[in-house]
Amino acid sequence: MFRSLASLFIASCFLPVCAQETGTLRMLIDPGHDFSFIVDHKHRMQQREVKLSEGLHHFSIWAPERVIVDTTVFVIADRTTDLLLRLPFSADHLEYRKQLANYQTKKRWVRTVPIVAMAGGLVWSGISIGQYGKAKKALDKDRADYEINVDPGTLSTLKGSTIPAHNADLKKARTSLIGGLAFTAIGAGATYYLFRLTSKWDRPLFDDREKVRFDGMAWIPGAQGGILMAGLTIDLSRP
Amino acid sequence: MKHAHLLLILAVLCTTACKKDEIDLSSLTSNPFDAEYNGDPIFAMVDQETVEQTISGVVQQRLNVTVSVRSDLFPIATSYQVRAVRGSTTQVFFLNAQDHDRFVVSVAGVSPGDVECWSLQLGNAGEFGGGNDVCGTAE
């Protein structure tokens, strides 16, 4: 009995020394998804909570489009610690966003201007058609007036000023209509050409150098010395 | 490209179609009340007679020419005037349906064989339009 109690006492004295106590680290990272981290320059992980032995741990945290942030966290045994961190956008990504915005703005303008010109041409043509119809109607009325009028004075005015004025209106409307149709045709041609041209423009691509750096950071130790992990990125997105 | 062709065709069609709509003023000559009337004669001589008349004891010959008006050429039925000019003499006749579209122009002091002509014009509301000359021969 005595021997058993002595054995239990000895065992209880050694337990805290031998057992490695762990704590939980909860990752509250912005962005809230799709981030990865490497613990202690070795273990690549992609999870929101990680159990670690008590002590100071090094973290390299990265997310697409963000910079790698290196930090150290002290994990306390049997406790959950929150790591609250915002990963800033990388300079490359900011430059890419700027280039993309410029590209999109330029493309939008180059495509919008001829469409607006074509729409303007159509409106112009529409107004001209209206004016043409009005002038033609006035001339038809003049012709009917001439056919039935029995007042030489009125007929003289009709032929001397009214009909020439309406003829001039018709001519002006026709010229305007031809101009409007020509403008519309040019606008349509320009729209077609510029849509084709801009569709061949190269869209800026984002080269995430931070990812390359991050992918090359993992060292997996092994019996023969370990493995340095390197990543190869192939962009399969369509421009 | 298809749309551009369509617009081009539309422009050509419109250009050719629109060109015919203006009124050619030189073709407007069918109304007898128009000063530039260029149709069938409006006035025609239907009768002429030479009569003797005594004025202040002097006997002279007077030529009377009866003229008819082609009111069927009028665009609508209307009352009208006729101005007759012979040399510096101007006569104006006001006619309506009751006159059966006829009136008489005359000249005194003619001799047998004299040909007298009047320039006749159709009018309305104090203005005159188309017309033609009518002549008579004294007997």
Q: How confident is the model at residue A195 (pLDDT cuts 50, 70, 90)?
A: very high
Secondary structure E strands in chain A? 22-30, 36-39, 43-45, 49-53, 55-62, 69-75, 80-86, 219-220, 227-228
A235 has pLDDT over 80? no
Q: Which of A42, A94, A39, A82 is nearest to A61 (CA)?
A: A39
In terms of domains, do A189 and A212 share one? no
Span between the terminal Cα atoms of chain B, in Å: 85
Average pLDDT over residues B103-123: 92
Domain count, chain B: 1
Q: Which of B70, B127, B41 is nearest to A156 (CA)?
A: B127
- At residue B97, the pLDDT reads 58
Looking at the structure, do residues A171 and A222 belong to the same domain, yes or no?
Answer: no
Q: Using 50, 70 and 90 to split pLDDT, how confident is the model at B13? A: low
Residue ranges making up the domain that contains B124: 35-137
* Pairing assessment for the beta strands A80-86 and A22-30 based on DSSP bridges: parallel
Q: Tell me: do A53 and A12 sit in the same domain.
A: yes
Q: Considering its fold, how many domains does chain A have in total?
A: 2
pLDDT value, residue B114: 93
Within chain B, how many helices (H) and strands (E) appear?
1, 7
pLDDT of residue A10: 45
Residues A40 and A127 in one domain: no
Domain containing A68 — which CATH number? 2.60.40
Q: For residues B118 and B105, is the Cβ–Cβ distance under 8 A?
A: yes
Average pLDDT over residues A210-233: 69
| pLDDT higher than 60, residue A226 | yes
Within this chain, do residues A73 and A99 fall inside the same structural domain, yes or no?
Answer: no
Please give the Cα distance from B120 to B42 (Å, whole number). 9
Contact (CB, 8 A) for B40 and B131: no
Residue-range definition of the domain harbouring residue A71 = 2-90+208-228
Type of residue numbered B43: F
Report whether the peptide linkage leading into residue A88 is cis, meaning its omega lies within 30 degrees of zero. no
Same domain, A26 and A56: yes
Please provide the average confidence, as pLDDT, over all residues in chain A.
Answer: 86
Same domain? For A84 and A37 the reply is yes
Distances (CA, A) of B131 to B35, B42, B127: 8, 6, 13
* pLDDT value at residue A12: 45
**Residues 6 or more apart from B26 whose CB is under 8 A from it?**
none
Per-residue pLDDT, averaged over B21-35, amounts to 93
Chain B residues whose beta carbon lies within 8 Å of the beta carbon of residue A148 = 75-76
Measured CB to CB, residues of chain B less than 8 Å from chain A are: 1, 3-4, 7-8, 10-11, 14-15, 18-19, 21-23, 25, 28, 30-31, 33-36, 74-76, 78, 80, 122-129
In a domain, A43, yes or no: yes
The rounded distance, in Å, linking the Cα atoms of A60 and A38 is 5
Q: Which residue has the higher pLDDT, A30 or B87?
A: A30
Q: What are phi and psi of A27, to 5 degrees?
A: -90, 115
Position A218 scores a pLDDT of 62
Contact A143 B36 (CB under 8 A): no
Statement: residue B16 has pLDDT above 90: no
Confidence at residue B112, expressed as pLDDT on a 0 to 100 scale: 93
Q: Are A31 and A101 part of one and the same domain?
A: no
Summarize pLDDT for A78-117 with one digit per residue, the tens. 999 999 999 999 999 999 999 999 999 999 999 999 999 9
Q: Looking at the structure, tell me whether residues A179 and A223 fall in a common domain.
A: no
Return d(Cα B90, Cα B101) in angstroms, integer: 19
DSSP string of B50-103? EEEEEETTEEEEEEEEEEEE-GGGSSS---EEEEEEETTEEEEEEE-GGGTTEE
Report whether pLDDT(B8) > 80: no
Q: Give pLDDT, residue A170.
A: 95
For residue A79, with 0-12 CB atoms within 10 Å meaning exposed, 13-18 middle and 19 or more buried, which class applies? Answer: exposed
A76 and A100 housed in the same domain: no
At residue B3 the predicted structure's pLDDT band, cuts being 50, 70 and 90, is: low
B39-69, pLDDT tens digit by residue? Answer: 999 999 999 999 999 888 889 999 999 999 9
User: What is the pLDDT, as a whole number, of residue A227?
Assistant: 63
Q: Which residue has the tokens 């493309």?
A: A107
Give the CATH number of the domain where residue B132 resides: 2.60.40
Q: Is A153 in the same domain as A218?
A: no
Q: Taking CB atoms and an 8 Å limit, are A171 and B1 in contact across chains?
A: no
Tell me the average pLDDT across A202-221. 81
Q: Where does the pLDDT of residue A233 fall: very low under 50, low under 70, confident under 90, or very high at 90 and above?
A: low
Q: Are residues A120 and A29 in the same domain?
A: no
Helix, strand, coil share (%) of chain B residues, nearest 5: 20, 50, 30
Amino acid letter, A89 = F
pLDDT by residue (tens digit) across A136-167?
Answer: 999 999 999 999 999 999 999 999 999 999 99
Burial of A127 (0-12, 13-18, 19+ CB in 10 A): middle
Assigned domain for A163 exists: yes
Give A50's pLDDT tier (boundaries 50, 70, 90).
Answer: very high
- Tell me the percentage of chain A whose pLDDT exceeds 90: 72
Contact A146 B126 (CB under 8 A): no
Domain assignment present for A53: yes
Interface subset of A 150-169, CB within 8 angstroms of B? 150-153, 155-156, 159, 163-164, 166-167
Strands B102-108, B89-95: parallel, antiparallel or unpaired by DSSP? unpaired
Q: Determine, yes or no, domain membership for A192.
A: yes
Pick among B18, B20, B36, B128 to test the A interface (most A CBs inside 10 A): B18
* Confidence check: pLDDT of B130 > 80: yes
pLDDT digits (tens, 9 = 90+) for A9-29: 444 444 444 456 899 999 999
| B2 in any annotated domain | no
